[in-house]
Amino acid sequence: MDNKDSILSTAHALRYEIGEDIHDTLVGAIYHDAELIASRVTSRPDGKKASTFGATLDRFLTNRWFGFPLMFLLLAVVFWLTVEGANVPSGMIASVLVDMVHPWLRDTLTSLNSPWWLTGVLADGVYLAMAWVISVMLPPMAIFFPLFTLAEDFGYLPRVAFNMDSLFRKAGAHGKQALSLTMGFGCNAAGVVATRIIDSPRERLIAIITNNFSLCNGRWPTQILIASIFFGALVPAHLAGIITAGAVVIVALLGIAFTLIVSWGLSHTILKGQASAFSLELPPYRPPRLLQTLYTSLIDRTIIVLWRAIVFAAPAGAVIWLVSNIHVGGVTIAELFIDWSDPFAFVLGLNGVILLAYIIAIPANEIVIPTVLMLTVLSAKLTGVGSGAGVMFELDEANAVADVLRVGGWTVLTGVNVMLFSLLHNPCSTTIYTIYKETKSVKWTIVATVLPIVMGLVICFAVAQAYRLVVG
Amino acid sequence: MTHTVSEHCEDCPVHNLGNLTRLGINMHQVDFVVALAGNPNTGKSTVFNALTGLRQHTGNWPGKTVARAEGGFEYGNKRFKIVDLPGTYSLLSNSTDEEVARDFILFGQPDVTVIVVDATRLERNLNLVLQVLEITDRAVLCVNLMDEARRNGIAVDVRQLARELGIPVVAASARQEEGIPELLKSIYEVASGTYVCRPYRLEKTSPSLEKAIGTLTAQLKSEFPDLPNTRWIALRLLEGDQKIIDSVKSGELKGLYRANSVNRVPQTAATAP
Amino acid sequence: MTDPVHIVVAAGILILAAAVFLLPRHGVLARMKRVHKDARRVMIEDALKHLHDCDYNKIACTVPSIAGALMISLDDAAALTSRLSAMGLLVPTDTGVKLTPEGNSYALRVVRVHRLWEKYLADETSLPQTEWHSSAEDREHRISPAEAEALAAQLGNPLFDPHGDPIPTAAGEIPPKKGAPLSSVAPGEWAVITHIEDEPKALFAQLSAEGLYVGMRIKMIEHTNLRIRFAADGEEIVLAPVIANNLSVELLPHAETVPASPMATLASVTVGEAVTVVGISKALRGQQRRRLLDLGVVPGTLVRAEMRSVSGDPTAYTIRGALVALRNEHAQMIFIERGERVSA
């Protein structure tokens, strides 16, 4: 036997002698020495105790009476700032990109003798989809992410996880999922990336798969618009705002409920065997640095997410334009699909336009409503509204939108189901791509994609049947 | 530490180049490789950014950096490549992150391993430091977040710490770029061999484990006389680490002793396969 | 009347259906055949495992015992025995049957994979321990030798499975049996559990419901023909002798320092109280155990409870200068000592 083999067989034999505790023994010994060294080199020269600021703040933030209200208050402020603050810049960007640059681009292309279909695909399809995504997505993210990052830098978020853990533990998940969930309200792709902080494999997968149940900011406008048309309009004007907000909040809370239910389901079924380990470190509070935070959150989160969304939106814009302009046997592909899928969609309490819009607007939830409007006008052969086949548009007045939708055959049921379907459908393609990048697994990407859409179809179907039974 | 490659191993691959290339490091025009290790949430990414001028996202969170990042910098007319290892609490277990960090330090043989620790949690962080020092004897300790320690009334005697650990220790507040010049200087000194480390090594574990380690190190020493970290190798064998078992079997371990970097000629090395 | 399109569609569907059935590797027929073949192999392997068990425990194996272990009829067991015999894997003896050297090495391979899987499930997944055995039983037949070795490497080439059984090496070596039955421990003596038999399942479920684990230290209080009573981790456990027979123990010399009183756990610590860790329960394994060790939860560590979450669980502790939140379920498995070393 040569030397190397004898080393290995000695090692093997010795392993039986020392038993299986070697890891414990070793770590124990290392910490023993670490303690000695640390005690020799660290001191508290002023004789002062550790700063009490952190401890006091911790006591306050985890207080039984203040802990949760404070957390909800902060969250509410962040959302209010995001929604309110984003309105003006969103409008400004839209007016530049959609109202000024778009016609200019069309004219330029036409003057360059580009054929009508090329102008259509490029200006009305690709460009318009990108412009829409930027104007709807950028401002809220540019407000939401820095605020979130500030709380993160300060050290508040781990305390939120600490407080929320018990709820998530009961669902088989990790307290830190509270944060990826909240991040998901900004953008699901960013929420999925945020699950990196969860250092336990099973809980991280749960957080990734359920992140889509957080209503992302691309879906808020849809919710608000539909709610104001179908619920706000049911009550007197002075109550409309409250009812609309209430309906949207209910949908968002429903999303959180689904997150917990699905987390529980996953951890007790397909993810039962995945490894799990819990520990949550609560770092000391650090004074946040405003400029640095702004810079990194803009670069790392906002721009990257926005870039991915634009990349995916561009081809979708082309597809949207093409399906509304390619004619087969005298009708467009879009109309063919809408007519064909209408009976099926009816069973779900939706319509063909909505199904088609959700299929072709998969890259970004932001363009669903413009696409719905365009397709409704196209299939209902409306005149005087919109800018032509394949050109997405939005109307300033909710009333005008309501008129278009009513012509398209929308009822209260359609409104309710669109709100539900907007919550429960496949993640946008940016998110799907991000899930794949984070899990490196086709299987989990498919689960995360298919699960919500199946739930959406089932729930829409149930609601439609119940509604028709009751209302008739 | 004054051996040269040619004295001891005629036929083994020139230095650690092959391993580094295999670990995915582009060694083109690089003089020294620096590995960056540390616990999660010690400001490792901030140190990385301060050294390289890159802007990786950092946050008050354990475990922000997941993918391995690389960057470069120049100091004293030498080009350094710096590899940000996953933030880990330990190097002993078989989790992916720890394996990546452990294998890089052992098989990649970086010229310097910089360990970033949190001054306010020194004791906990020393766990990793002592483990790294078991593997390599070329390390620099960066005691980061000194500002935070000051705020909390904690003083860290870095000179005493350097004496205890036998490696250069630099006090830093990377967020304020404090201590970065000193860190660069220490990295340069260790890489170029002007500072010779005498790292702290664990001595007592348990009687039965020590006996086993003694038996095994004696055998390892006769087969691999130049190995600087025989004790660590023995420990890994006793933990059943397959990679180490394989490298004993294949004799790859032989190539893994520390050649003095001064003797390394990077320009020719860069053209080697 | 017949539209050519319809014919094409119908033909397409037929071809597709045929393909689904007849494809050489993924077709339904091929799969069914494979399942059948797999079932036969599973039978053989399970029988070999049973024979190895008899061998290891030095008891006689017979056709009825094979029938019992595999839950098959006597006729089937006899047929299986003759097939194994024809394959040269077993030979008859005076008292029954036993493995040939080839049979033994095959059996050891199966046992190795089984125990590696159990180790994997125990350490790297969060499957409850009552499911380790059946899940491993299921997977042990579906793994190639190369996969088994990769698994062993990933686990750091473990020596024992979570029930305390030695894992045969790749070369087919297995250390001789150690440990004595629990009934051999006299009242007042200390012992450590070295093995918990995982079959039959109902008995194992009872043992694991009592919270017993390999490496647990126990102190015998009394044993009679009716019951065996002992203290473990500060709790008193009473077992019927028939169940207790499924435990193997090793006597601990009296010199061992074992706390005499029930051990308190970290979960019992009130906010503001500082205590010293004396150990982590062996029942806490895998990633969670490593995490605690990494954070510095080792014997001798001073831990102070700082605050509880709004909902009462988890609790944050100062551990070696860091504030770390641990869940109650894990704190319950960390043994502590009050007094001494404690400073505010």
Contacts of B89 in chain C (CB under 8 A): 291, 294-295
Does C325 contact A58 at a Cβ distance shorter than 8 Å? no
* Closest residue in A to C162 (Cα–Cα): A20
Contact B102, B242 (CB under 8 A): no
CATH topology identical between C28-99 and C266-341 = no
Q: Is A349 exposed, middle or buried (0-12, 13-18, 19+ CB in 10 A)?
A: buried
pLDDT, average across residues C307-327: 90
List CB contacts of C209: < 8 A, sequence separation 6 or more. Answer: none
Cα–Cα distance, A31 to C300 (Å, whole number): 9
Contacts of A3 in chain B (CB under 8 A): 219, 222-223
Answer whether CATH 2.30.30.90 is correct for domain C180-251.
yes
List CB contacts of A239: < 8 A, sequence separation 6 or more. Answer: none
C54-58 long-range contacts (CB < 8 A, ≥24 apart) are: C54/C98, C55/C98, C55/C99, C55/C104, C56/C174, C56/C177, C57/C177, C58/C177
Residue with the bigger pLDDT between C57 and A190: it is: A190
Query: B 28-67 residues with CB below 8 A of A?
Result: 40-41, 55, 57-64, 66
Q: Is C201 exposed, middle or buried (0-12, 13-18, 19+ CB in 10 A)?
A: exposed
For residue A381, give both structure tokens.
Answer: 């052969």
Q: Is the pLDDT of residue C34 over 70?
A: no
Predicted pLDDT at A210 = 95
Q: Is the confidence metric ipTM above 0.85 for this complex?
A: no
Residue from C124, C125, C294 to probe the interface with B (highest B Cβ count within 10 Å):
C294
Residue from B93, B102, B122, B126 to probe the interface with A (highest A Cβ count within 10 Å):
B126
- Bridge pairing between strands C190-196 and C247-251: antiparallel
Does C157 contact B245 at a Cβ distance shorter than 8 Å? yes
Predicted pLDDT at C28 = 73
Cα–Cα distance, C176 to C251 (Å, whole number): 17
pLDDT in tens, A335-365: 888 988 888 899 899 999 999 999 888 777 8
CATH assignment of C28-99? 1.10.10.10
CB pairs under 8 A between A and C: 113
Residue with the bigger pLDDT between C12 and B217: it is: B217
> What's domain C266-341's superfamily in CATH?
Ferrous iron transport protein A (FeoA) (2.30.30.90)
Q: Is the pLDDT of residue B15 over 60?
A: no
pLDDT, average across residues C251-273: 73
Q: Where are the domains of chain C?
A: 28-99, 180-251, 266-341
Alpha helices in C57-131 (DSSP H): 63-70, 74-86, 101-124
Measuring CA to CA, which residue among A447, A442, A461, A422 is closest to residue A227? A422
Does A38 contact B122 at a Cβ distance shorter than 8 Å? yes
Query: B 232-251 residues with CB below 8 A of A?
Result: 234-235, 237-240, 245, 248-249, 251
Cβ-nearest to A274 among C125, C293, C313: C125
Among the residue ranges B256-260, C198-202, C301-305, the one predicted with the least confidence is B256-260
Contact A185, A213 (CB under 8 A): no
* Closest residue in B to C151 (Cα–Cα): B242
Query: B 65-104 residues with CB below 8 A of C?
Result: 89-90, 92-95
**pLDDT, averaged across chain B:** 79
Predicted pLDDT at B170 = 95
Q: How confident is the model at residue B122 (pLDDT cuts 50, 70, 90)?
A: very high
Does A28 contact C298 at a Cβ distance shorter than 8 Å? yes
Question: Within 13 Å, how many C-alpha atoms sit on residue A39's CB side?
Answer: 7
Per-residue pLDDT in tens (0 to 9) along chain A, 472 residues: 578 888 888 888 888 888 777 888 899 999 999 999 999 999 887 655 556 778 888 888 888 788 888 888 888 888 888 878 888 888 898 889 888 898 899 889 889 888 888 888 888 888 988 888 888 888 888 888 888 888 888 888 889 999 999 899 999 899 999 989 988 988 898 889 888 888 788 889 999 999 999 998 888 888 988 998 888 888 888 888 888 888 888 999 999 999 999 999 998 888 877 777 788 888 888 887 788 777 777 776 777 778 877 888 888 888 888 888 888 888 888 888 898 888 889 989 999 999 999 988 877 788 888 888 888 888 887 777 777 777 777 777 777 888 888 888 888 899 999 999 999 999 988 899 889 988 889 999 999 999 999 999 999 999 999 999 988 6
pLDDT, average across residues C24-51: 74
Does A31 contact C298 at a Cβ distance shorter than 8 Å? yes
Does A200 contact C323 at a Cβ distance shorter than 8 Å? no
Write the CA distances from B220 to A6, A210, A278, B102, B224, integer angstroms: 10, 51, 39, 20, 6
Q: Is the pLDDT of residue B16 over 60?
A: no
The subunits that touch chain A, with at least 3 C-beta pairs less than 8 Å apart, are B, C
For residue A46, give both structure tokens.
Answer: 């002023």
Q: A381: helix, coil or strand?
A: coil
List CB contacts of A104: < 8 A, sequence separation 6 or more. Answer: none
Q: How confident is the model at residue C342 (pLDDT cuts 50, 70, 90)?
A: very low
Predicted pLDDT at B68 = 56
Q: How confident is the model at residue B21 (pLDDT cuts 50, 70, 90)?
A: low
pLDDT in tens, C69-87: 888 888 888 888 888 888 8
CB pairs under 8 A between A and B: 163
Does C320 contact B124 at a Cβ distance shorter than 8 Å? yes
Residue with tokens 């400004």: A92
Percent of chain C with pLDDT over 90: 11
Cα–Cα distance, B106 to B12 (Å, whole number): 16
Cβ-nearest to A280 among C293, C300, C325: C325
Does C320 contact B120 at a Cβ distance shorter than 8 Å? no
**pTM of this structure:** 0.80
pLDDT, average across residues B240-247: 88
Cα–Cα distance, C274 to B185 (Å, whole number): 43
Cα–Cα distance, C344 to C342 (Å, whole number): 7
pLDDT, average across residues B255-265: 46
Cα–Cα distance, B107 to B31 (Å, whole number): 18
